[in-house]
Amino acid sequence: MNDALTIRMAAAEDAPALLDIYRPYVEHTAITFEYKVPSIEEFAARILRTLQRYPFLIALCGGKAVGYAYASPFKERAAYDWAVETSIYIQEAYSGHGYGKALYDILERLLTAQNILNLNACIAYTAHADEYLDNHSADFHAHLGYHPVGTFHKCGYKFGRWYDMIWMEKMIGAHTSAPEPVYPIGQIDWAKLL
């Protein structure tokens, strides 16, 4: 775990390595409400779809994929252009080593360069931790400056249990009467921000 961390933009070819990180979240946790692990082809398509507008980052430690983070539309309508939903997954063995913070720091820098103003995180939440879900994700986001703004009660059903969903937000820019346009990730010089 002492190898240097490298963060770069993901590519479709990273899908197998990223699926290795995501698979345990689908199969053994309620952190994602997805029931079935996507195919490599579907996951590669998700990466490419994201990269049309937003960053999709991969973290490598000693050349091994240890985590990833990306942004997606908060909502599709034009008035929401300045808001995104952020997501992050870290391989369990590498959790707690600062890799998540490093990924989110770079993701935030890239989104700021795109003129994004609001970061929103949709997080599975439970009143009583169990073997499928604790509230570490909410704690992680709070540590990085996200604040809770709402709860949807018992809206996700997985492993025979009902889970809540909370929304947390972080403002990263000024909300003016004439906001700058949001540029797709491909239209900014993102390489120098990594």
Report how far residue 136's alpha carbon sits from residue 140's, in angstroms, rounded to the nearest whole number: 6
Enter the tokens of residue 81. 């252009």
pLDDT number for residue 93: 86
Average pLDDT over residues 75-101: 94
pLDDT number for residue 96: 87
pLDDT number for residue 143: 97
Q: Which of 85, 83, 100 is nearest to 140 (CA)?
A: 100
Radius of gyration of the chain (CA): 16
Report how far residue 10's alpha carbon sits from residue 50's, in angstroms, rounded to the nearest whole number: 10
pLDDT number for residue 95: 87
Report how far residue 169's alpha carbon sits from residue 146's, in angstroms, rounded to the nearest whole number: 5
Report how far residue 167's alpha carbon sits from residue 105's, in angstroms, rounded to the nearest whole number: 20
Q: What is the pTM of this model?
A: 0.95
